[in-house]
């Protein structure tokens, strides 16, 4: 599947969050959404990324942007991650990677010369009508929030 780009319709999703509540893209109709995919809860890069989103919440909220993170972790692990860092935004469990695949955020990765399938750290700014404003693939954990803010300028 080719990478999503500005103007594309954001693939819909319906996943459980860290509290077991079902969250869908439709829940954000009429709002902007910063949706990001991360490989694994409570790892260094993912923690840095999630905490930067948490810390930017006042600015994001003022700009009318909600934030949602998605990883393959089970809801219980997402809950521990949320509790440990007081993240305060939905962390969705995509255990079968179907949503990551729909956003083209799942694919071949390499580490220490070995290839494997996994989450490609990606983020998407989605508008009030469910269209992609901008997509960033292989994004640095530190760039998720600045990219979204810059896209709104």
Q: What are phi and psi of 107, to 5 degrees?
A: 180, -165
Catalytic residue among 46, 92, 126, 145: 46
* DSSP state string for the chain: -PPP-TTSBPPP-EEE-TTS-EEEGGGGTTSEEEEEE-S-TTSHHHHHHHHHHHHTHHHHHHTTEEEEEEESS-HHHHHHHHHHHT--S-EEE-TT-HHHHHTT-EEEEEETTEEEEEE--EEEEE-TTSBEEEEEES--GGGHHHHHHHHH-
Query: Contact, 94 vs 11, CB < 8 A?
Result: no
Does 51 participate in catalysis according to the annotation?
A: no
Give me the active site residues, please. 46
């Amino acid at each position: 599947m080719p990478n999503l780009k500005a103007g594309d319709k954001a693939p819909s999703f319906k996943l459980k969050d860290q509290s077991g509540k079902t969250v869908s893209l439709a829940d954000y109709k009429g709002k902007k959404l910063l949706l990001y995919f991360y490989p694994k809860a409570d790892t260094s890069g993912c923690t840095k990324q999630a905490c930067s989103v948490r810390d930017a919440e006042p600015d994001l909220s003022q700009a009318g942007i909600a934030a949602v993170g998605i990883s393959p972790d089970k809801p219980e692990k997402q809950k521990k991650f949320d509790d440990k860092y007081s993240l305060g935004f939905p962390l969705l469990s995509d255990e079968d990677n179907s949503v990551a695949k729909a956003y083209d955020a799942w694919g071949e990765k390499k580490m220490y010369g070995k290839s494997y399938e996994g989450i490609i750290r990606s983020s998407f700014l989605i508008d009030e009508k469910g269209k992609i404003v901008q997509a960033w693939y292989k994004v640095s954990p530190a760039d998720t929030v600045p990219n979204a803010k810059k896209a709104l300028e």
